[in-house]
Chains A and B, each alone.
Chain A
Amino acid sequence: MIRLLRRRSLSCDEIMEVLQGYLDGEVDAKTARRVAAHLDACDGCATETDVYRRLKDSLAHVPTETVDPEIMDRLQDFSRRVIDGEMS
């Protein structure tokens, strides 16, 4: 569990240090409250938090299969023909 020992309010740099752990539920309750208080008052950190929250959500649903190399080869070939004017 990640814990910040400093007592004063957190700076933006300190927020960025613990932001990932905060989003993953890996900080202790007291640190989580301090991070939340900072995010309430700081638009910049709140926006950054939104980006990472959305990123995490997107990753949670990401397909893990790789793209078939044959398909990529065909698309490369098609691109070459577009460039060469064969498709116009």
Chain B
Amino acid sequence: MIERRRSPEPAADPAAGGPPPDQAALFERHVVPELPLLYRAARRLTPSNAEAEDLVQDTLLRAFRSVHRFDGRHPRAWLLTIMRNANINRARKKRPDLLDDPDLTFERDQRFADGETPEATVLHDAFDAVVEDAFARLDEPFRAVVELVDLQGRSYAEAAEALDVPVGTVMSRLHRARRRIRAELTDAGVDGPHSLGRATAVERLGGE
């Protein structure tokens, strides 16, 4: 099959067999609900709100063009991969010499030399963005406990005193909050070994 490049993805051809995928409906289902996550991820990749907004818009356009080919699994990981590629392209357009920058090349090589593949880099960013998004959507009593224990490093007893609740309540809220965030990591497909910075058994056996 001849693959056409550098042109917008054509709309699905009904003559090709089967009903044409409804691009708009797929976009509504898989992409629009993830706008907050995409914006949070973009803020991690760009130095300003304006650039983050531009990057999200770029990502939305790319996602719309390819959503009919998306298999529907792990939309967040799919979208964050699109965003990362879009960001790399934007950086290259701004500074065509970017790839030749010895500092950046060194940094990139170091990261990969430490065992982090490009895929792992994407999943690292995705992991953090999913956690941030899930944290932001926690109900206030759960968020408050996570803020005290995980963000501020307080003990259960200190958190209980700050919130004027029993230690057992701190524990149950904290554990429920983390389980909820953990479930969202699974939904996003970013709780595998790559996201954790660990080599898989196959990679370990495969050597270099």
Given A60-B151, A79-B35, answer yes or no on A55-B178 (Cβ-Cβ < 8 Å): yes
Contact A55 B181, CB 8 Å, known A24-B156, A75-B57, A79-B60: yes
Q: What's the Cα separation between A71 and B52 when bound, in Å?
A: 10
Residue-wise interface mask of B (1-23) relative to A, using a CB-CB cutoff of 8 A (1 in contact, 0 not): 00000001000000000000000
Task: Show the binding face of B for A, using Cβ within 8 Å.
Answer: 8, 24, 27-28, 31-32, 35-36, 38-40, 43, 49, 53, 56-57, 60-61, 64, 127-128, 131-132, 135-136, 146-147, 149-151, 153, 155-156, 171, 174-175, 178, 181-182, 185, 191, 193, 195-198
Partner of B56, one of A20, A54, A55, A75: A75
Q: For the complex, give the distance between the alpha carbons of A62 and B155 in Å.
A: 19
Q: How far is the CB of B100 from chain A (nearest CB, A)?
A: 31
On whether the beta carbons of B127 and A58 are closer than 8 Å, the reply is yes
Interface string of A9-27 (1 = CB under 8 A from B): 0000000000011001010
Q: Is the CB of A82 within 8 A of B64?
A: yes
- Asked whether, in the complex, the Cβ of A79 is within 8 Å of the Cβ of B127, the reply is no
A88, B36: Cβ atoms closer than 8 Å = no
* B180 vs chain A, min Cβ distance (A): 11
Interface members, chain A 45-88 (any B CB < 8 Å):
47, 50-52, 54-56, 58-64, 66-68, 71-72, 74-76, 78-79, 82-83, 87-88
Whose C-beta in chain A lies nearest to the C-beta of B43? A63
Closest Cβ neighbor of B39 among chain A residues = A67
* 13 sampled A-B residue pairs with Cβ under 8 A: A24-B156, A26-B155, A50-B196, A50-B198, A54-B127, A54-B195, A55-B131, A55-B185, A56-B178, A60-B151, A64-B147, A71-B53, A72-B36
Q: Is the Cβ of A62 less than 8 Å from the Cβ of B135?
A: yes
Interface size class of A (residues with CB under 8 A): 20 to 34
In the complex, what distance in Å separates the CA atom of A58 from the CA atom of B41?
13
Identify the closest chain B residue to A56 (Cβ).
Answer: B150
Contact, CB under 8 Å: A76 / B36: no
Q: Which residues of A contact B56 (CB under 8 A)?
A: 75
B132 to nearest A CB, angstroms?
Answer: 5
> Bound state CA distance, A52 and B175, in angstroms?
11
User: What are the residues of chain A within 8 A of B60 when measuring CB–CB?
Assistant: 75, 78-79, 82
Decide: A76 and B153 in contact? CB cutoff 8 A: no
- Among A20, A52, A58, the most chain B Cβ lie within 10 Å of the Cβ of A58
- Complex contacts, A50 vs chain B, CB 8 Å: 196, 198
**Contacts A63-B132, A72-B35 given: A26-B156 contact, CB under 8 Å?**
yes
